[in-house]
């Protein structure tokens, strides 16, 4: 199960989180009250140049000093604070969510064209694999992930999601299977600019994990979704594939379709499958990936999970259910169901 | 003092009530086990029997039975009958003991202690009868990343050039068994089978007989240390070229085809004088280090216009992972890893039973090492050595192999009873022999169908196993060790295999 909804305003206009909360709550049936979360782009305009690093601390007495020290080794903490939360009767606060606005020192990482991103990626892997009691779950610029174990509306009210404004929203309601409903296991998953929500189970996880780990990523959250964020980071950021090609690699056409393509297209698609066979994701899934420039949704190659897309003026919605979209946008210009494996991209005009 | 004769290995009996004296057993046994005496057929020399079952298969009345070890030795856990008999044999002859087929020690199979996964509830299994199921595999070098360019019209075009790859529609290929080691009819049957099933077979180090030319697009030609049968015509005919460094049944040593098997046809195909022993040296005399291998790979590619993938086959030895990593940097397109259960026509028993490591551990180590070093896309990994069924193949792929070679299994599909007497050249099934009357027993058309049936059947079973695991493309099975669990494997081995225990 699991329910997902996402929206992008292609003009870049911001929306507050109240409506996305209502939309996600329409799909309570798809979850179990053990995990929900929201990601929003454009939420920290006052620190837009800093990496917004969100951390779940088990307690802030022991581990926070270690994280502070590590961050200071690699750059400057411009500002940090506890993320404001508001007690909810049905949500137990087991972690203290904290946010750092961090500026890495690019001179400290050599031999890479993107030292700042690489420092932050390194810090995420380092903290999540070696520091017990601390988990970085959000690390992009001007991006915030807000998640916890609970029903969508409780998690939204816990963070007062209506107080945040973003031009992209991603939201997820979880029915956990791979792990108990712990906070780190809730979606969205984020790394740098990439955020992912996912409904399904990736049967190729072992292959994908071993592939991505050979590029230095470390899967630390015991659930298959984080591998999607790392795969997208590898394909799109490091290998420079555009959204369509990246989705081609993750959910490629079948060979008999490729065999029927015109020669140049056939050669391109064959090359993608040969090169990125280990990145191909199998099993039932519907996924929405967000980036500062927009969102992309796609399903597995035989569409074993639902995905519906709708447009209303500048806004594009991608969701598990049309009802969730209609809850907040009753009058839609267009509603459609993309074909299996076919990416739907909503890009922000710049 | 005399050692005396050792007890019978097999005791053959004919049930006189059932025997109708047709004489088929006498005709079919090349070892002279049976004889006509008056109007009865008797078992003249039970001692000659190899348990090849040819007589049993041909007897129209089920009158013959064979019992293994009819005479007990005093039981002893260490001094087994085999241990004692090997000593009697060597005390008499002073020689190395020859043996056929794969490792005959009762060592546990790792494959049998690995269990496959299936979907329940949280994700649906996929029915291969209704949904596409992709087993297509490309063998050869693949780029680790692609470069694209945008045309003026905004289209994306591929800039990266992909090296030649072999395309197979099943991950099962047939390994290298040379003309000489097996008969021409056996090779023809295998060739027909790979042609039929869209896969490939190896020629072995025995050249390519002209009768195989119609199937050359499906043949991988082998270059081994004796260089038998190698010329430019041979290299150009093959779909790919394989350099054989070693073999799982006898790592570290060469090969020996006795002169009596080198008749006129074998002589022409191997390009050696009739009646001469064909001895392949232990090392290639132009390869004394890894950089020499790289030169040979490049030479073979240059000779064939860079149109064919070049494979390198090694035996699975202790340091197999590091060796494979070296091969990945040699320009080779695939590395074939042959495990210690790999079959052979003839090998010294001490090698067959004691040298090398299991293919399961070798594949795991090789795949991981190649990934650690960032060169996994440089080479495909082909696993071989004792694969018995579709489950073994599926597990080998889940551990990290791209494809497999089968050998013994294909021979069994043609009648082989795994009697292990291949080295005597009297194979009653017409497989491991050059004696014309025996070779004529093997019908290449019929046996080709049997081998093709086997490949089809395994391929369907692999599809079903993948579908049950919710996987519809073999890429997602490859190296997917999360879909395996170890049952009664020790912790060290679980770590090497990178597989969790059952229940975890």
Task: Verify whether the Cβ–Cβ distance B123 to A304 is below 8 Å.
Answer: yes
Q: Given a cut of 90, is residue B433 above it in pLDDT?
A: yes
Query: So what's the pLDDT on residue B2?
Result: 62
Residue A213: exposed, middle, or buried by beta-carbon count in 10 A (0-12, 13-18, 19+)? middle
When computed from its CA atoms, the radius of gyration of chain A, rounded to whole angstroms, is: 19
Task: Choose the closest CB to B134 out of A177, A254, A264.
Answer: A254
For chain B, give the percent of residues with pLDDT over 70: 99
Contact residues on chain A for B472, CB-CB shorter than 8 A: 282, 301-302
Task: Verify whether the Cβ–Cβ distance A302 to B480 is below 8 Å.
Answer: no
Task: Verify whether the Cβ–Cβ distance B476 to A177 is below 8 Å.
Answer: no
User: Which residues of B fall below an 8 Å CB-CB distance to A?
Assistant: 119, 122-124, 126, 131-132, 134, 136, 138, 142-146, 148, 156-158, 160, 162, 165, 371-372, 374, 376-377, 398, 469-473, 475-483
Q: Given a cut of 60, is residue B1 above it in pLDDT?
A: no
Q: pLDDT tens digits for B211-227?
A: 999 999 999 999 999 99
Task: Verify whether the Cβ–Cβ distance A177 to B136 is below 8 Å.
Answer: no
Chain A interface mutation, best of B114, B122, B368, highest count of A Cβ atoms under 10 Å = B122
Average pLDDT for residues B166-187, to the nearest whole number? 97
Query: So what's the pLDDT on residue A222?
Result: 65
Residue A159: exposed, middle, or buried by beta-carbon count in 10 A (0-12, 13-18, 19+)? buried
Task: For residue A278, give how far its alpha carbon lies from the nearest alpha carbon of chain B (Å).
Answer: 6
Task: For residue A201, give how far its alpha carbon lies from the nearest alpha carbon of chain B (Å).
Answer: 6
Contact residues on chain B for A214, CB-CB shorter than 8 A: 371-372, 374, 376
For residue B310, give the H/E element and its range: strand B310-315
Among candidates A133, A60, A151, which has minimal Cα distance to A99? A60
Task: Verify whether the Cβ–Cβ distance A207 to B376 is below 8 Å.
Answer: no
Residues 6+ apart with CB under 8 A from B138: A274, B165, B166, B167, B168, B380
Task: Choose the closest CB to B479 out of A210, A255, A301.
Answer: A210
Task: For residue B159, give how far its alpha carbon lies from the nearest alpha carbon of chain A (Å).
Answer: 9
Q: Given a cut of 60, is residue B283 above it in pLDDT?
A: yes
Query: So what's the pLDDT on residue B304?
Result: 98
Q: Structure pTM?
A: 0.93
Write down the catalytic residue from A1, A2, A127, A335: A2
Query: So what's the pLDDT on residue A59?
Result: 87
Q: pLDDT tens digits for A64-75?
A: 999 999 999 999
Nearest chain B residue to A272 by CA distance is B146
Task: For residue A223, give how far its alpha carbon lies from the nearest alpha carbon of chain B (Å).
Answer: 12
Q: pLDDT tens digits for A215-258?
A: 988 887 667 888 988 899 899 989 999 888 999 999 999 999 99
Q: Given a cut of 70, is residue B406 above it in pLDDT?
A: yes
Phi-psi region of A337 (alpha: psi -120 to 50; beta: other; left: phi over 0): beta
Task: For residue A250, give how far its alpha carbon lies from the nearest alpha carbon of chain B (Å).
Answer: 11
Report CA B76 to chain centroid distance, whole Å: 34
Task: Verify whether the Cβ–Cβ distance B483 to A242 is below 8 Å.
Answer: no
| Helix, strand, coil percent content, chain B, rounded in steps of 5 | 35, 20, 45
Query: So what's the pLDDT on residue B256?
Result: 83
Task: Verify whether the Cβ–Cβ distance B482 to A272 is below 8 Å.
Answer: no
Identical fold for domains B10-95 and B169-501, yes or no, is: no
Tell me the domain boundaries of chain B.
Answer: 10-95, 169-501
Contact residues on chain A for B376, CB-CB shorter than 8 A: 214
Dist. CA B45–CA B63, nearest whole Å:
17
| CA quadruple A155, A158, A159, A165: dihedral, nearest 10 | 70
Task: Choose the closest CB to B123 out of A200, A240, A268.
Answer: A200
Class at the top of the CATH hierarchy for domain B169-501? alpha beta
Nearest chain B residue to A257 by CA distance is B132
Which position has the higher pLDDT, B124 or B399?
A: B399
Task: For residue A282, give how far its alpha carbon lies from the nearest alpha carbon of chain B (Å).
Answer: 6
Q: pLDDT tens digits for A130-162?
A: 999 999 999 999 999 999 999 999 999 999 999
Q: pLDDT tens digits for A16-34?
A: 999 999 999 999 999 888 8
Average pLDDT over chain A reads: 93
CATH classification code of B10-95: 3.30.70.20
Nearest chain A residue to B131 by CA distance is A302
Task: Verify whether the Cβ–Cβ distance B160 to A277 is below 8 Å.
Answer: no
Task: For residue B297, give how far its alpha carbon lies from the nearest alpha carbon of chain A (Å).
Answer: 22
Contact residues on chain B for A236, CB-CB shorter than 8 A: none
| CA quadruple B188, B189, B195, B200: dihedral, nearest 10 | -80
Nearest chain A residue to B166 by CA distance is A274
The upper half-sphere exposure of residue B405, i.e. CA atoms within 13 Å in the direction of its Cβ, equals 35
Task: Verify whether the Cβ–Cβ distance B470 to A273 is below 8 Å.
Answer: no
**A296 neighbors A289 (Cβ within 8 angstroms):** yes
* Preceding peptide of A243 cis, ω within 30°: no
Task: Verify whether the Cβ–Cβ distance B145 to A239 is below 8 Å.
Answer: yes
Contact residues on chain B for A259, CB-CB shorter than 8 A: none
Task: Verify whether the Cβ–Cβ distance A268 to B157 is below 8 Å.
Answer: yes
Nearest chain A residue to B475 by CA distance is A277
For chain B, give the percent of residues with pLDDT over 90: 91
Query: So what's the pLDDT on residue A62?
Result: 84
Task: Verify whether the Cβ–Cβ distance A210 to B371 is below 8 Å.
Answer: yes
Task: Choose the closest CB to A280 out of B136, B165, B476.
Answer: B476
Task: For residue B374, give how far its alpha carbon lies from the nearest alpha carbon of chain A (Å).
Answer: 7
Average pLDDT for residues B449-475, to the nearest whole number? 98
Task: For residue B368, give how far its alpha carbon lies from the nearest alpha carbon of chain A (Å).
Answer: 9
Tell me how crowded residue B439 is: count the other CB atoms within 10 A of its CB: 17
Task: Verify whether the Cβ–Cβ distance A272 to B136 is below 8 Å.
Answer: no
Dist. CA B483–CA B400, nearest whole Å:
12
Query: So what's the pLDDT on residue A57?
Result: 96
Task: Verify whether the Cβ–Cβ distance A272 to B146 is below 8 Å.
Answer: yes
Query: So what's the pLDDT on residue B127?
Result: 94
Q: pLDDT tens digits for A157-205?
A: 999 999 999 999 999 999 877 667 789 888 999 999 999 999 988 999 9
Dist. CA B348–CA A93, nearest whole Å:
69
Task: Choose the closest CB to A271 out of B126, B158, B469.
Answer: B158
Task: Choose the closest CB to B470 out of A239, A280, A283.
Answer: A283
| Helix, strand, coil percent content, chain A, rounded in steps of 5 | 35, 30, 35
Contact residues on chain B for A240, CB-CB shorter than 8 A: 148
Nearest chain B residue to A305 by CA distance is B123
Is A219 designated active site?
A: no
Query: So what's the pLDDT on residue B187?
Result: 98
Task: Verify whether the Cβ–Cβ distance A284 to B124 is below 8 Å.
Answer: yes
Average pLDDT over chain B reads: 95
Q: pLDDT tens digits for B297-310?
A: 999 999 999 999 99
Contact residues on chain B for A274, CB-CB shorter than 8 A: 138, 142-143, 162, 165
Q: What is the 3-state secondary structure (H, E, C) of A223-263?
A: CCHHHHHHHHHHHHHHCCCCHHHHHHHHCCCCHHHHHCCCH
What ipTM was assigned to the predicted interfaces of this complex? 0.91
Query: So what's the pLDDT on residue A33?
Result: 85
Contact residues on chain B for A239, CB-CB shorter than 8 A: 145-146
Query: So what's the pLDDT on residue B82?
Result: 93
Q: Does domain A3-43+142-198+283-347 correspond to CATH entry 3.40.50.970? A: no
For chain A, give the percent of residues with pLDDT over 70: 99
Report CA B376 to chain centroid distance, whole Å: 23
Query: So what's the pLDDT on residue B112?
Result: 98
Task: Choose the closest CB to B473 out of A201, A271, A280.
Answer: A280
Q: Report residue B91's pLDDT band, with 50, 70 and 90 as the boundaries.
A: very high
Task: Choose the closest CB to B157 out of A207, A264, A301.
Answer: A264
Task: Verify whether the Cβ–Cβ distance B469 to A270 is below 8 Å.
Answer: no
Among candidates A24, A40, A285, which has minimal Cα distance to A151? A24
CB pairs under 8 A between A and B: 112
Query: So what's the pLDDT on residue B261?
Result: 84
Dist. CA B382–CA B362, nearest whole Å:
11
């Amino acid at each position: 199960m699991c329910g997902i909804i996402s929206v992008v305003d292609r003009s870049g206009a911001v929306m507050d989180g109240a409506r996305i909360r209502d939309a996600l709550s329409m799909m309570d049936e798809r979850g179990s009250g053990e995990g929900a979360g929201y990601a929003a782009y454009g939420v920290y305009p006052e620190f837009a140049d800093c990496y917004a690093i969100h951390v779940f601390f088990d307690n802030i007495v022991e581990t926070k000093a270690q994280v502070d020290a590590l961050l200071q080794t690699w750059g400057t903490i411009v500002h940090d604070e506890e993320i404001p939360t508001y007690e909810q009767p049905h949500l137990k606060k087991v972690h203290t969510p904290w946010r750092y606005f961090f500026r890495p020192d690019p001179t400290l990482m050599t031999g890479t064209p993107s030292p700042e991103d690489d420092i932050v990626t390194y810090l995420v892997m380092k903290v999540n694999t070696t520091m017990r009691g601390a988990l970085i779950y959000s690390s992009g610029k001007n991006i915030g992930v807000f998640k916890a174990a609970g029903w969508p509306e409780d998690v939204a009210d816990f963070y007062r999601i209506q107080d945040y404004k973003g031009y992209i929203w991603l939201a997820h309601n979880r029915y956990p299977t791979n792990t108990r409903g712990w906070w780190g296991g809730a979606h969205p998953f984020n790394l740098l600019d990439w955020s992912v929500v996912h409904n399904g189970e990736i049967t190729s996880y072992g292959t994908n994990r071993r592939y991505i780990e050979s590029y230095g990523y470390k899967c630390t959250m015991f659930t298959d979704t984080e591998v999607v964020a790392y795969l997208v980071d590898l394909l799109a950021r490091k290998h420079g594939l555009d959204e369509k090609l990246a989705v081609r690699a993750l959910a490629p056409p079948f060979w008999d379709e490729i065999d029927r393509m015109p020669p140049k297209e056939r050669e391109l698609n064959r090359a993608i499958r040969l090169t990125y066979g280990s990145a191909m994701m199998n099993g039932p899934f519907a996924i929405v990936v967000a980036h500062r420039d927009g969102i992309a949704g796609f399903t597995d190659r035989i569409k074993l999970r639902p995905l519906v897309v709708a447009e209303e003026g500048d806004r594009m919605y991608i969701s598990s259910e049309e009802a969730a979209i209609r809850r907040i946008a009753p009058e839609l210009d267009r509603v459609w169901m993309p074909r299996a494996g076919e990416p739907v991209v909503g890009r922000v005009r710049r | 003092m005399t050692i005396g004769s050792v007890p019978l290995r097999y005791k053959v009996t004919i049930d006189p009530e059932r025997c109708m004296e047709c004489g088929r057993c006498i005709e079919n046994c090349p070892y002279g086990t049976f004889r006509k005496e008056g109007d009865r057929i008797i078992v003249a020399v039970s001692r000659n029997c190899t348990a090849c079952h040819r007589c049993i298969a041909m007897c129209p009345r089920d009158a013959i039975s064979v019992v293994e070890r009819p005479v007990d030795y005093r039981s002893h856990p260490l001094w087994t009958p085999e241990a004692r008999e090997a000593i009697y044999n060597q005390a008499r002859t002073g020689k190395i003991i020859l043996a056929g087929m794969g490792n005959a020690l009762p060592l546990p199979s790792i494959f049998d202690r690995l269990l496959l996964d299936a979907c329940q509830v949280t994700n649906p299994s996929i029915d291969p009868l209704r949904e596409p199921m992709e087993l297509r595999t490309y063998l050869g070098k693949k780029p680790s990343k692609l470069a694209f360019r945008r045309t003026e019209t905004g289209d994306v075009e591929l800039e990266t050039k992909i090296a030649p790859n072999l395309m197979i529609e099943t991950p099962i290929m047939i390994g290298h068994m040379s003309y000489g080691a097996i008969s021409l009819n056996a090779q023809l049957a295998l060739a027909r089978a790979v042609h039929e099933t869209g896969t490939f077979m190896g020629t072995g180090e025995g050249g390519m007989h002209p009768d195989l030319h119609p199937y050359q697009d499906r043949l991988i030609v082998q270059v081994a240390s004796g260089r038998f049968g190698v010329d430019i015509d041979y290299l150009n005919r093959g779909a790919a070229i394989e350099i054989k460094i070693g073999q799982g049944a006898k790592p570290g040593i060469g090969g020996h085809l006795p002169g009596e098997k080198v008749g006129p046809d074998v002589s022409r195909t191997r390009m050696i004088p009739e009646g001469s022993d064909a001895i392949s040296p232990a090392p290639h005399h132009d390869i004394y280090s890894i950089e020499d291998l790289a030169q040979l790979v490049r030479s073979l590619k240059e000779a064939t216009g860079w149109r064919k993938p070049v494979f390198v086959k090694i035996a699975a030895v202790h340091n197999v992972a590091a060796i494979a990593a070296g091969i990945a940097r040699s320009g080779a397109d695939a590395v074939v890893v042959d495990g210690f259960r790999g079959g052979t026509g003839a090998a010294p028993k001490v090698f067959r039973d004691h040298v090398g490591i299991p293919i399961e551990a070798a594949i795991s180590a090789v795949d991981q090492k190649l990934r650690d070093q960032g060169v996994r896309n440089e080479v495909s990994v082909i696993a071989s050595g004792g694969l018995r069924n579709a489950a073994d193949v599926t597990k080998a792929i889940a551990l990290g192999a791209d494809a497999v070679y089968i050998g013994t299994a294909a021979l069994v599909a043609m009648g082989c009873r795994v009697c292990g007497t291949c080295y005597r050249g009297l194979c009653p099934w017409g497989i491991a022999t050059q004696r014309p009357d025996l070779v004529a027993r093997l019908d290449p058309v019929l046996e080709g169908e049997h081998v093709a049936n086997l490949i089809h059947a395994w391929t369907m079973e692999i599809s079903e196993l993948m579908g049950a695991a919710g996987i519809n493309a073999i890429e997602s099975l490859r190296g997917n060790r999360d879909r395996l669990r170890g049952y009664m494997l020790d912790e060290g081995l679980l770590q090497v295999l990178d597989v969790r225990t059952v229940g975890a």
